[in-house]
Copies of this chain bind each other. A is one copy, B any other.
Amino acid sequence: MNEYSSKLLENTVNELSRLPGIGKKTALRLALHILKEDMNYAVNLGKSIIKMREDIIFCEKCNNISDNKICGICSNHKRDENLICVVESTQDVIAIENTSQFNGLYHVLGGIISPVEGIGPNDLFIGGLIRRLSAEKIKEIILALPSTVEGDTTAFYIYKLLKDFDIEITTIAKGISIGEELEYADEITLGRSILNRHPFSKL
């Protein structure tokens, strides 16, 4: 005899526990919560998951996930088309959008170069970026990649590809966090924030 009195519950617990960070106990808690909520919730949740997976596509321009061939950001004419921010993933797009500090377009690589995980430049959407350079009127490309060995490798790889084009290539600032005490910052970050100092009046 299984510990669950219901096969239906067991199935849902098994499926939920395949999600990252969700163990069997959490999955059970979630499943029992769904059972307590009214029918509509379970139906909406289940259908939204299936519909999302079946219908979502990648934007042909920026490779971000999208409901249409061209995503809502790329097709928004209020955004600055001269400026492209290169990021690793959709999560990074959402993180930058949440800052409300960027009004340009994005380019989602879909990963970063990682020899350990067997991800090379050809696995990323870098060709699409080169194509955009001729098709669009881009003036500046911001490399907003993680501050790790892999992120730096990827940024340097893209920089080498782009440096002969007539565009400005920038990268996001690295330095101490807002609200951080100097004594607790790590040496490398603090060192970078001294090297990258800028006129006091500028922000």
Q: Which residue numbers of A lie inside 8 Å of B, CB to CB?
A: 1-9, 11-12, 15-16, 18-22, 26, 28-35, 37, 39, 41-56, 59, 64-67, 71-73, 76, 89-91, 93-94, 97-98
Contacts and interface: CB of A to CB of B under 8 A. Distances in A.
What's the number of copies of this chain in the assembled complex? Answer: 2
Contacts of A53: 34-35, 39, 41-43
A32 B30 CA distance: 19
23 contacts: A3-B98, A5-B59, A5-B65, A5-B71, A5-B90, A5-B93, A6-B66, A9-B65, A11-B48, A11-B51, A11-B52, A18-B37, A18-B45, A19-B30, A19-B33, A29-B91, A32-B91, A34-B49, A34-B53, A43-B50, A43-B53, A46-B49, A49-B49
A59 B6 CA distance: 10
A interface, over-half SS? helix
Contact of A12 (B9, B42, B48): B48
Contact of A90 (B32, B67, B73, B98): B32
B34 A42 contact: no
A1 B47 contact: no
A45 B64 CA distance: 24
Contacts of A73: 1, 5
Contacts of A46: 45-50
Given A28-B91, A46-B49, A47-B46, A6 B39 contact: no
A29 B2 CA distance: 31
A57 B18 CA distance: 25
A12 B54 contact: no
A86 to B, nearest CB: 16
